[in-house]
Structure 1
Amino acid sequence: MIALARRASLAVAGLSTLALVACGAEAAAPEWSGAWAAAVQHPATAVTPNWSAGGFADQSVRQVVRLADGGPQVRVRLSNRYGTAPLAVAGATVARSAGGAAVIPETVRRLTVGGAEAFEIAPGTEISSDRATTPLAAGESITVTLYFARPTGPATQHAQAAATSYRATGDHTAASDAAAFTESSQSWYYLAGIDTVGPGRVRNVTVAFGDSITDGYRSGIDADQRYPDHLTRQLTAGGRPGAVVNAGISGNRLLTDSTVLGDSALTRFRRDVLGQPGVGTAVVLIGINDIGLAGMTGPDGLLSPKVSAEQVVAGYRELIAEARAAGVRVIGATLLPFAGSPYYSADKDRVRMEVNGWIRSAGAFDAVVDLDRAMAAPTDPTRLADTYDSGDHLHPNDSGYAAMAAAIGAVILT
């Protein structure tokens, strides 16, 4: 159970303290929908050097995200899923970004939980803030600033954000300028989601679920060039309302849990997909790390088990069954070519092709998008097209992520 710690008011000139939204205090429950999300991970620095192992003490962390949907009110979801002790948040704000670590002063709103400006998050849990009344538009960048007065211990994180976060010594939750935020990182900490509220929203959120190719690895930093970013813009242009939120984790596998590469897709699907407010559609693109890492020692120092196409298919069937039981449409994406990458062997590619053949022909998914064929080189179907290859022959570049979004968007819009 989450313990709430009230403290003396942190009222600052120009800040609005949010009112408590008590259960049952309104005529109707708010219609929350996900506007941004990140799949949280264990504290780990083996792949991405960051602040997660040491955590924070007398420090403010300012994180910048771009919303895929807007609304007149917002709430922030914070996670202490991998913490071993209560996480004491001494203060928190949300504001419109002015670029980098700066914010627009008049938009700063203090976040509360149960009306308290200081609160604790129990280990293994996630909380949502009270609602903040601040109109926000789709595509707008906002900041969430968290102040930790006392040591947090290792921090629940999202390792590869393709976005810059900032750190300052002391409480700078209300600061509008960037002067104090002299340190930076390309990970997110404790931040699991941002939801907006508005009338008439019924299950219009699409969750992009997968590994580094969904996470946007090797896309432009602070450029919002991941495929889910492109997909949001495409669906909006196509007249389809609702956000696309990103539940990718770099290195993630369908079948195998890891403290470095994230809980497996089977472990986290219910939390990271079905638990998203307003989810109606899931796009599943995962399995290449199960196949490619098989028989190799991964970044977590563990030998990755070999997998067959039948094992991967069995994993997909579990995800599909969970989605169907929750009334969520599930779209399957074929696995991209990977010849030339350190993962590649002819035997592993045969497993990939068998898996892709099943995705195309089994009729198990509600719809299929054939990224394998859309992204392959014209003269060699085992390789990514040069125009889409980031250079490692496994991950797309920004143009490749845009091409993926175009293929997926065509399926969703039809």
Structure 2
Amino acid sequence: MMSHWVLYLSASLCLIFNLVASSPLPKTDEKGGNDSNDGQHWVGIWTAMPQLVEPANLPPTPFNGLDSVFYNTTIRQTVQVGLDSAKIRLRLSNAFGVNNLNISSVAVSHTMENEAGVSTIQPGSTKEVRFSEQSSISIPSAGLAVSDPIEFSVQAQSILLIDIFLEKGQDGFAITGHPGSRTTSFISFDDHVGEKDLKTNGDAVQSIEHWYFISAVEGFLNSETRSFAIVGDSITDGRGSTTNKNNRWPDLVQKKINQDEKIPKIGILNQAAGGNRILHDGLGPNAVSRIDRDVLAQSGVQFAMIFEGVNDIGVAESDPKSQAEIGDQIIIALRQIATRVRTAGISFGAATISPFGTPPDSNYTQPYSSVEREVTRQRVNNFIRNDGVFDFVLDFDRVLRDPQDQSVLLNEFDSGDHLHPNVAGYQAIADYFPLDLFL
């Protein structure tokens, strides 16, 4: 019981650290003083929603010891940034740690061939990352660290490689990460920050498809450049997309934005996690509780949206009373979230919930599929479309559903589980996505 209370307190304190880190104070330069670069500000150009890493997603043995994780370990991770920037900074999160996260050193580099999920650095590209002019930092439990600005040029949708070395590891097994990275990372004993290729260490190197501790990359960009935060579940997190290919639907919308010269530069912040729910904690905190951290505390947010509800409906009992209650609660929660986000001056929208029914000729039954759950999905979608709560509505249901049976995904968009779209489905969302909402 005590451990659950500590984790609850840690998550609450994390909101305070995050809000302080990105509150709308006067613009600052790289030394923390008033910004001498008029018309520029920090904007998020990549994010991953912090989560408490479940036991199954902790690093493998021997990097998962008897009383600590990542002892004497270098973690090499890659991310795809959304926009061009000549200067960046990182956020490292200890949101769910109950012990200090002691970072020994960090560096950023370009990858060879600009590929995600690789272990090889482009020679001569590495830059040290410092925190308050120090090469190391101890991040308290539930805390956040923002790096000093780094003179390091990135291009839109290029791959950034991040090395983190933890000499002492992190005590305990409550650590912060993002298991659904759909991107290969590498771990090796000893300090290999900035070394060309971790794989030269042979059997001492292991690969994993998770991110740990990294939560945001920010660019120092002109005042017209803003970010767009998406609160979502596994469909936004990319279940059904291709590992290391960055073809989740938000990635594809970012590409679409970057190719349209009429649209202001917008950095998409993917704040989604598989299994996430609006109302209840599970894989990550519930959406109501994480709005402050994942939207309001992010840099440069002017637009935001939510695309959730399927897991709330699918996990609730399928009888009419239970479904009526969960529908009521979802609608109230969406109204509450919209009020909070719009109060901050952020344009806020919602996407309709996509189908999850089982096709009649399928050999696989989707566990969420039921007549009463479909009634609730239609009810919530009707609210999203017609209630007037949102500044914009994205009708993903209409994009993905079978016109002949609105309760199921169109077969060509179905990844096979009748819930998650495949890459063709994600591309269909991006093709439909109306960029004029950013004008």
Instruction: Give the structure-1-normalised TM-score.
Output: 0.88
Give the alignment of 1:273-292 within 5 angstroms: 273-292=295-314
Task: Find the counterpart in structure 2 of residue 14 from structure 1.
Answer: none
Task: Find the counterpart in structure 2 of residue 82 from structure 1.
Answer: 96
Do the aligned partners of 1:238 and 1:413 also contact (CA within 8 Å) in 2? no
SS at match of 2:69: coil
Task: Find the counterpart in structure 2 of residue 169 from structure 1.
Answer: 189
Per the alignment, do residues 250 and 355 of structure 1 end up closer, same or farther by CA in structure 2, a change over 3 Å counting? same
Task: Find the counterpart in structure 1 of residue 331 from structure 2.
Answer: 313
Do the aligned partners of 2:110 and 2:160 also contact (CA within 8 Å) in 1? yes
Shift of 1:139: 1.0
From 149, 155, 167, the counterpart of 1:149 = 167
CA deviation vs aligned residue, 1:232-267 (integer Å, no higher than 9, x gap):
011222232121120011000000013xx1100001
Say whether residues 1:91 and 2:105 are aligned partners.
yes
Say whether residues 1:355 and 2:380 are aligned partners.
yes
Give the alignment of 1:7-406 within 5 angstroms: 21-24=30-33, 26-27=35-36, 31-46=41-56, 48=57, 50=59, 55-98=69-112, 99=115, 100-153=118-171, 154=173, 155-179=175-199, 180=201, 182-202=205-225, 204-239=226-261, 240=263, 241-258=265-282, 261-295=283-317, 307-340=325-358, 341-406=366-431
Larger helix proportion of the pair: 2
CA distance in 2, matches of 1:208, 1:32: 18
CA deviation vs aligned residue, 1:172-217 (integer Å, no higher than 9, x gap):
1120123237211111100000001123345x21112110011001
Query: Identity across aligned pairs (percent)?
Result: 28
Gaps of 5+ in 2: 1-12, 15-28, 359-365
Do the aligned partners of 1:93 and 1:110 also contact (CA within 8 Å) in 2? yes
CA distance in 1, matches of 2:436, 2:357: 26
Range with bigger deviation, 237-246 or 344-353: 237-246
Per the alignment, do residues 306 and 81 of structure 1 end up closer, same or farther by CA in structure 2, a change over 3 Å counting? farther
Q: Which AA in structure 2 matches 1:24?
A: G
Instruction: Give the structure-2-normalised TM-score.
Output: 0.84
SS at match of 2:51: coil
Range with bigger deviation, 179-188 or 271-280: 179-188
Per the alignment, do residues 233 and 279 of structure 1 end up closer, same or farther by CA in structure 2, a change over 3 Å counting? same
Task: Find the counterpart in structure 2 of residue 8 from structure 1.
Answer: none
Do the aligned partners of 1:294 and 1:306 also contact (CA within 8 Å) in 2? no
CA deviation vs aligned residue, 1:142-168 (integer Å, no higher than 9, x gap):
111100001313320111111111101
Gaps of 5+ in 1: 3-19, 297-303
SS at match of 1:198: strand
Do the aligned partners of 1:231 and 1:409 also contact (CA within 8 Å) in 2? no
Per the alignment, do residues 102 and 378 of structure 1 end up closer, same or farther by CA in structure 2, a change over 3 Å counting? same
CA distance in 2, matches of 1:294, 1:198: 44
Per the alignment, do residues 224 and 33 of structure 1 end up closer, same or farther by CA in structure 2, a change over 3 Å counting? same
Task: Find the counterpart in structure 2 of residue 407 from structure 1.
Answer: 432
Q: Which AA in structure 1 matches 2:313?
A: I
Cα RMSD (Å): 2.2
